[in-house]
Amino acid sequence: MNRQEILEAVTQDQLKPAGEFSNFSVGDTIDVHVQIIEGEKERIQVYQGVLIAEKGRGINRTITVRRIVANEGVERIFPLHSPRIVKIEVVRRGDARRAKLYFLRNRVGKARRLRDQRRGLKHVN
């Protein structure tokens, strides 16, 4: 085994099953269910936003999710294989023509919306 193969093998048993993250793509509005641990208590927090970028592979795979809170853009980067990421649900399918939607950062108001892939390319949030 060469160096890269060993590194991959080390993280192999930490990866989630292969098909786990195949249902969403860049441009979708998604719900990320994050486990929050506060001392003894555990709870699930849902973070909803537009998936604007996917990066990395293997255990380093991350997604960037952008949402607007109090008229201020907030982006969170989630490592997909973290045990804290419980579930990811697609809320709306967005029509994206590029892999990284960083241009959304410069958009204000209604221009922020992406076209809906499923419902005949109508605008959605």
Partner 1 sequence: MASALLGRKLGMTRYFTEEGVNIPVTVIQAGPCVVTQVKTEETDGYSAIQIGYEDINARRSTMPVIGHDHKAGASPKRFHRELRTEEVDVELGDTITVECFEDVPFVDICGRSKGKGFQGGMKRHNFAGLEASHGVKRRHRSVGSIGGHSANLGTGPKLKKGKRMPGHMGDENVTARSLEIIAIDTDRDLILVKGTVPGPNNASVFVRPSVRLNRVKTTAARKKK
Using the rule CB under 8 A, give the single segment among 8-16, 23-31, 66-74, 94-102 that binds partner 1: 8-16
What DSSP state is assigned to residue 98?
S
- Smallest distance, Å, CB 125 to partner 1? 30
- Smallest distance, Å, CB 6 to partner 1? 6
Quick note: the x/- pattern for partner 1 over 62-91, rule CB under 8 A, is: -----------------x-xxxx-------
Give per-residue burial for 75-114: e unless 16+ CB within 10 Å, then b: eeebebbeeebeebeeebbbebeeeebeebeeeeeeebeb
Q: Cβ–Cβ contacts within 10 Å for residue 122, how many?
A: 11
- The answer to whether residue 33 forms part of the interface with partner 1 (CB under 8 A) is no
- The answer to whether residue 59 forms part of the interface with partner 1 (CB under 8 A) is yes
Residue at token pair 């003894």: 40
Site residues (CB under 8 A) for partner 1, limited to 93-112: none
